Amino acid sequence: MAFDTLKNVSIRGISCAVPDSIVSAEAYTDVLGKKGVEKFIESAGIHQRHIGDGSVIASDFCYYAAEDLLARLSVDRSEVDALILVTQSPDYTSPPTSCVLQHRLGLSEHCLAFDITMGCSGYIYGLHTAAALMQNGNIRNVLLLVGESQDATSEDRSQMMLFGEAGTATLLNYLESENVMLFQLKTLGNGFRNLLKPCGGFRHPEGERKRIDRGEGIIRSDFEYHMDGQEVFKFTISEVPKMFQEFHDHFNISIEDHDYFFLHQANKFMLEYLAKKSGFPKQKMPLSLDRYGNTSSASIPLTMCDFFNNDYSGPQNASALLSGFGIGLSLGVATIPIDAQRCFPIVTVSEGWDDALGDIMHRQTS
């Protein structure tokens, strides 16, 4: 099993950015009816989401989160040794969006940059990758960007009110200290069919682009997410508590060793079940999905920034258990030390970026 202990890495700060536009669950009353909306709010716990019109995308949210973070910490951009982007919403099929963000952020040409294509477990995988890169001390500052875009025009009743948009920036630095991060990462790839976009890759480059009624209110094209909600739910409630038990047994730690539990914001019912099954005190497991929805890989750092900037009165230095689970199917858990004052207020974004590709695209089509 993939257990790991990583030392001498400190989280210098976390910033987050979301669209400035908000859509309430009640906005879908004409589609789902009043009772349908009420049922969704009761089970998913989502009252509203920050979601835009498509003109501002994941890399933009990550860019503004990074700009906020670098400014607050007065970081010398030439000292950022690596940029890691975790997203399933890249700007282009190629090149990696991390290269674009290195340019936009004005980082050094000696900065290592690469993408990780992960979803709901992506923040845990990104943290592990960043911390692992820093173990020998040659790479001393890593900027981890995690974010997702969504389609506000979705007609899939199982998903149209679920997902929100966000981008986050976490700066890690090499610091010889007593700081320890513990990780467990798992993959159950036999469940990959339960949550995927079937077409658009090289396996199935073509498919039905028109949205088709698949039954039970699921209207989507072959280029949009297919989700078998029942199978994803079964995976979560069976595998995530098992992972928590394995994690605590392996490292000989207990629930009482953690001040807070920041879990991927899938839906309220699922999170409450996991808390009960795993023995997590609900008052120590903050939720943000009621106001931001399910923001996939960005949901864990978003929840941290939301919690620590919402009348927080707990300890400044806390031990946090983090866990993400979903598409892949993949899952992971980590414990980290976190400074509450280094989780900064969430910023809102209204403007995207012009990549100046108009002439190139015009020449290609003329």
Task: Report the alpha-carbon distance of residue 26 to residue 81 in Å, rounded.
Answer: 45
* pLDDT single digits (tens) 283-334: 999 999 999 999 999 999 999 999 999 988 888 999 999 999 988 889 999 9
**For 266, phi and psi rounded to 5 degrees?**
-75, -65
SS3 assignment, position 299? helix
In angstroms, the CA 170 to CA 126 distance is 10
Q: What is the distance between the alpha carbons of residues 115 and 101, in angstroms, rounded to a whole number?
A: 11
Query: Do β-strands 195-196 and 226-227 pair in parallel, antiparallel, or remain unpaired?
Result: antiparallel
Rounded Cα–Cα distance for residues 161 and 155 (Å) = 10
> Residue 226: is it exposed, middle or buried by C-beta count within 10 angstroms (0-12/13-18/19+)?
middle
On the question of pLDDT at 229 being above 90, the answer is no
Selected residue with higher pLDDT from 160 and 71: 71
Q: Virtual CA dihedral for 229, 235, 240, 246, nearest 10 degrees?
A: -170
d(CA 228, CA 231): 6
Residue 230, pLDDT score:
79
Q: What is the DSSP string of 198-225?
A: -SSSSSS-----S-EE-STT-EE-TTS-
Is 80 exceeded by the pLDDT of residue 102? Answer: yes
Q: Which CATH superfamily is domain 1-366 in?
A: Thiolase/Chalcone synthase (3.40.47.10)
Residue 93 CA to chain centroid, in angstroms?
A: 20
Query: In the predicted model, what is the mean pLDDT of residues 82-98?
Result: 95
User: Is 154's pLDDT higher than 90?
Assistant: no
For 175-190, what is the mean pLDDT? 89
Domains of the chain, residue spans:
1-366
pLDDT (tens digit, 9 = 90+) per residue, 192-221?
Answer: 777 778 888 888 888 888 888 787 777 888
CA–CA separation, 10 and 157 (whole Å): 42
Q: What is the mean pLDDT of residues 125-137?
A: 95
Q: pLDDT tens across 236-256, in order?
A: 888 999 999 999 999 999 999
Q: Where are the alpha helices (DSSP H) in 95-171?
A: 97-104, 122-133
